[in-house]
Amino acid sequence: LLVGAPWDGNGQGDIYKCGVGLQNSSCAKANLAPWLRSSAGHLGMTLVDSKDGGFVACAPLWSQECGTSVFSSGRCVQLNEELQLMGTIAPTAQRCSTYMDIILVLDGSNSIYPWEEVQAFLGNILGRFFIGPGQTQVGVLQYGERLVQEWALGQHPTSQRLLEAARNLTRQEGRETRTAMAIRQACTESFSPAQGGRPGATRLLLVVTDGESHDGDELPAALAECDRHNVTRYAIAVLGHYLRRQQDPEDFIREIKSIASDPDEKYFFNVTDEAALNDIVDALGDRIFSLEGTNGDNESAFELEMSQIGFSIHRLEDGILFGMVGAYDWEGGVLEESQRGRIVSPREAFQEEFPLELKNHAAYLGYSVSSLQLPGGQRLFVAGAPRFQHKGKVVLFQLDPTGTVTVAQALMGEQIGSYFGSEVLALDLEGDGDSDLLLVAAPTYLGGQSRETGRVYVYRVGQDRLSPAGSLHPEPRPQDSRFGSALGAVPNLSQDGLAGAVVGAPLEDGHRGALYVFHGAPGTLLPQYKQRIEAAALGWNLRYFGISVDGRVDMDGDGLVDVAVGAQGAAVVLRSRRIVQVSAWMSVEPAAVSVTRRNCQRSGSSAVCLRARICFRAGTRTRNPVDMDIDLRYNVSLEERIPGSRAAFDSGARRLLQRRIEFPLGRQSCIRVPFHVLDTSDYLRPLSLTLTWALDAAVRSVLDEAFPTTIHKLIPFFKDCGDDDECVTDLVLKATTDIVGSRQSPHILRKGRRRMLVAVELENREENAYNASLWLQLSGNLHFSSLVLQDPSTVKLECSALGGHRQRCSVGYPVFHSQAKVSFTLELEFSCSILLDRAEVMLQATSDSTEATPEDNVVKLSVPIRYEPDLFLSSNTNLHRYEVHPLGTFTHSSGPEFTTMVKVQNFGCYPIQNVTLHMALPALGHRQATILSVTHVLADNATCVLQPPPEGTQVVPVPPEDLLHTDRLDCSNTWCQELSCLLGRLERGGGVSVHLLRTLHDSFFSGVKFRSMRIVSSVWLGGAGGALVLEEGAQRRELVLEVLQGRRVPVSLWILGGSALGGLLLLALLSLGLWRLGFFSHRKPSREEEDEDE
């Protein structure tokens, strides 16, 4: 087992090789850290096997320093089975722009003064260089009359050693300045490999001098040599010697400019004296390191420098597909390294899927990679971009040798932040080489209670496109899970030739983690997990179990693929258990228990002895034969969970026998178990024999869940059917119902009656009928309620529901005796949800015996029916009686406006519709005088139409002079308006109310003499239809308003005068009484009181 440890060694990472045995095994470390050159590259973050038996391990965060920058380009390593380094894969590693060989040519003649300033300049400029392997190395050549190579390129590989050499540099001195000789020497020899020069490194020459050369005529040839060797030249003119002597430096400057490369403003410097050299150190350093290529102002400087190659990796048939998650400013990309060569997708390859105007920076394309083999032979690459528009995207594409991308399809995530596409898995279910499914994980998908439950989407692979096929279902309990953090395909997982999948959920159970196992089915993956392996059950205090997973190798040689699961600081190998299919069957000799014949003695009593033969045979789902033994535990029980002890085993184990058996796979093994029956009085109930089995706990196999582990056998009692041992019976079935009807006159189910009784009689006129049954089939509007035997002591009936309005009743099981008769009543209940126009009952009698006359074994009852709805009509009004003004005092204004509420309620058990509420409302009297007028109709769940009084009717209104002799006004003697309201659907227990606002007109009664008049309105229901019957005028009600005429009471003038005089006398008496009581008197103050007041 190879285990990647990307955080090993402070993030350098490493690979461990672990031998897997029956016990915990030790692991050997590959010690690949030196290969990373101390970079925290996280080696082992991805692993993939190669076709040559070795494998490839990647360190996607492997970085290299380039100047002040650190680029994480990533790199991978090829190792053999012995963990020996076979090669390096670093397709995106780029040479640093600071990969330079620099030769400093210093003038050491006598005119240079003071030398300490030159040393200080040398130390400062060396401090600006990035010294190290893969970056810059510096050599120094000093000249005057002669040349001295102070140190060669690479002689001092570190900045510290280089600066120490600079401090110890002494001036060579000399009277001549042979600049051309020094330049030729530097360009032809100092950059050579013998002097430490590196092929491919940028070559820079830095010349520092303070005077014209004494070999100036040789200068053009020396400069030509520099051009031939691709040497870029910087030249610094020190003017101190000329200024101190007050000489014109024009010729000197012209010569130094000719030494510098073009243009002069970049490669030429001049300073006033040696001390001023330190003033140009920063500018000189900036110009040197501006040689590295940069893009325009509006373009990113990052192409593949941060690609993090190997963050994801997928093996192809002839190479490897790498994900470059950090390429192109973390937009991402892919790279193919195969027999076709190295193919890199350019930045613009995925512009159609990642348009620049969407500003999809950091889409992380290549976070996961895979490939699909379509049925037609076409291969598509798959790459996930989990941060695209924060929802994630998966792109399916082809990559041609030029790097051109042809996108076949793109799959979009549905939830922000779900990281859709962070894991992808192509699944070949049948192992035929064609991909059947693509799994796409969104591990941070938020589920119930805003938990990171995660989700894994399933896509079915078609001829040229993928179609959604649902998702996989983890444990429904809401918790932080990150289901889908790791996906793995396991061939022949269910041992039926179909591959399955394992899914990691490292945050489940408080970050302990779990692994889900999903089995395959033809053309799909079963969405419900077959097994959940939780870290807590494995022990070892595992954390983040399921963070990585792989299942492709048989680790223990049993022919089954095992699964390796990663956790924090641990790796677990889960061994597959062989699925065993155990078939069992039982037979009993003799096949039935004789009621009268006892054939043995047990416990001092006569008994019926029998012998059960139990056979087992085991197989597997795998097609290849396997040589192994099956260790099986089994229990045999008599009359399980039934009180009493009619039978027992001969071994003295009473009614339970516990044994174990071992037999070879693929072969049948049988045993015999003798038992006996002591009590045969209950011969109607057969004897039950039950066999259960399970694998021994120590066995590494598991039983197939599709195969039963329990079988039951019922042993009937002996059939007494004469010498021919053939029972010929004649069952006669009769049935009648308590309701009758015809097509012309169907039976009407009145409200409150929802039951139907069927009287059934079954008679056996010939030999015994064994296992006699009565089958009952009801129409959809009937339900079985109960069965009542007319004589319970004769024959036993037991009924059970079969579904679909069917019942099966066993009649006298196991035997319905000859000449026996059973009568019973079936009570059926009509459905409240299904209304049919017929009630149909079919009964059929059957048995295991031979039937003499089958034509009288079936009875069909069919009754046409209709349903009367259980409607209740009620009314209420706020004006029952009204008294009008006496005769001769009427005003011509309208009378009071009052409200009448009519309510229709459904008290039945089924909904009702198409019902109309009718109201006949007296409106006009003699000579079209208005009696009552409708001002407003309010109805909820009803549509109402008010019709005016019809013209041409035969109604003769009552004349005013006849009102004194009439006490009722209705539609027989007034013109009436009709209000029709079509009611909406009335649910069970529901109702509809109609509010009617009317006004009584006093003018109708002007000048009319009457005592009491009742104005009667009629209300009734109509309509319905279909299976419902609502008789016209059903639930008729009358709304009565009684009108009374008031009486005038005369008042006499003498009564009014007497009342006024009496009131005045009463007032005088009250005043006299108050005066006598002193109410109107006032006390006079004494003189003393007056003096005090003054």
Mean pLDDT in the chain? 86
**Count of alpha carbons within 13 angstroms of residue 699, beta-carbon side:** 18
**Parallel, antiparallel or unpaired: strands 136-143 and 147-151:** antiparallel
Between CA 1017 and CA 998 the distance in angstroms is 12
Please calculate the CA angle 55-328-296 and round it to the nearest 5 degrees.
145
Pick 622 or 902 by higher pLDDT.
902
Answer yes or no: are the C-beta atoms of 999 and 895 closer than 8 Å: yes
Mean pLDDT of all residues in 197-224: 91
Between CA 1082 and CA 111 the distance in angstroms is 145
Residue whose structure tokens are 């519709």:
913
- For the 579-715 domain, the top CATH level (class) is mainly beta
Residue 1087 has pLDDT above 70, yes or no: no
Confidence of residue 1016 (pLDDT cuts 50, 70, 90): very high
The 10s digit of each residue's pLDDT in 668-690 is: 999 999 999 988 767 668 889 99
- For the 871-1045 domain, the top CATH level (class) is mainly beta
Between CA 80 and CA 55 the distance in angstroms is 6
Q: 100-289: what fold?
A: Rossmann fold (3.40.50)
Between CA 860 and CA 1045 the distance in angstroms is 69
Q: Measuring CA to CA, how many Å separate 168 from each of 120, 164, 190, 274? A: 11, 7, 21, 18
Mean pLDDT of all residues in 442-465: 94
The pLDDT assigned to 300 comes to 42
Between CA 186 and CA 257 the distance in angstroms is 18
Q: Can you give the residue ranges of every domain in the chain? A: 2-89, 100-289, 579-715, 728-867, 871-1045
HEC sequence for 504-531: EECCHHHHCEEEEEECEECCEECCECCE
CB atoms within 10 A of CB 892: 8
Residue whose structure tokens are 């997990």:
529
Q: Measuring CA to CA, how many Å separate 398 from each of 216, 436, 466? A: 63, 18, 15
Q: How far separated are the first and last CA of the chain, in Å rounded?
A: 130
The pLDDT assigned to 38 comes to 61
Cα torsion angle, 492, 496, 498, 501, sign: negative
Residue 275 has pLDDT above 60, yes or no: yes
Classify 183 as helix, strand or coil. helix
Between CA 560 and CA 621 the distance in angstroms is 11
Pick 21 or 140 by higher pLDDT.
140
Kindly report the backbone phi and psi dihedral angles of residue 726, in degrees, each rounded to the nearest multiple of 5, phi listed first: -125, 120
- Pair of tokens at residue 546: 């399921």
The 10s digit of each residue's pLDDT in 721-774 is: 766 667 789 999 999 998 888 888 888 888 767 789 999 999 999 887 877 899
The pLDDT assigned to 417 comes to 93
Cis peptide before 814 (omega within 30 of 0): yes
Q: Measuring CA to CA, how many Å separate 661 from each of 142, 658, 674, 730, 1039? A: 97, 10, 17, 48, 89
Give me the amino acid identity at 563. V
Bridge partners, residue 846, by sequence:
773
- Pair of tokens at residue 413: 């995530």
Mean pLDDT of all residues in 1017-1026: 82
The pLDDT assigned to 137 comes to 92
Between CA 565 and CA 570 the distance in angstroms is 9
The 10s digit of each residue's pLDDT in 576-595 is: 888 899 999 999 998 888 86
Bridge partners, residue 634, by sequence:
659, 693
**67 exposed, middle or buried (CB, 10 Å; 0-12, 13-18, 19+)?**
middle
Same fold: 100-289 with 728-867 = no
Mean pLDDT of all residues in 983-1011: 85
The 10s digit of each residue's pLDDT in 487-514 is: 999 998 888 889 999 999 999 999 999 9
**534 exposed, middle or buried (CB, 10 Å; 0-12, 13-18, 19+)?**
middle
Answer yes or no: are the C-beta atoms of 845 and 772 closer than 8 Å: yes
Between CA 361 and CA 379 the distance in angstroms is 28
Residue whose structure tokens are 């013109």:
975
The radius of gyration of the chain's CA atoms, rounded to the nearest angstrom, is 55
Mean pLDDT of all residues in 550-560: 85
Between CA 189 and CA 225 the distance in angstroms is 11
The pLDDT assigned to 712 comes to 92
Q: 728-867: what fold?
A: Immunoglobulin-like (2.60.40)
The pLDDT assigned to 54 comes to 86
CB atoms within 10 A of CB 66: 19
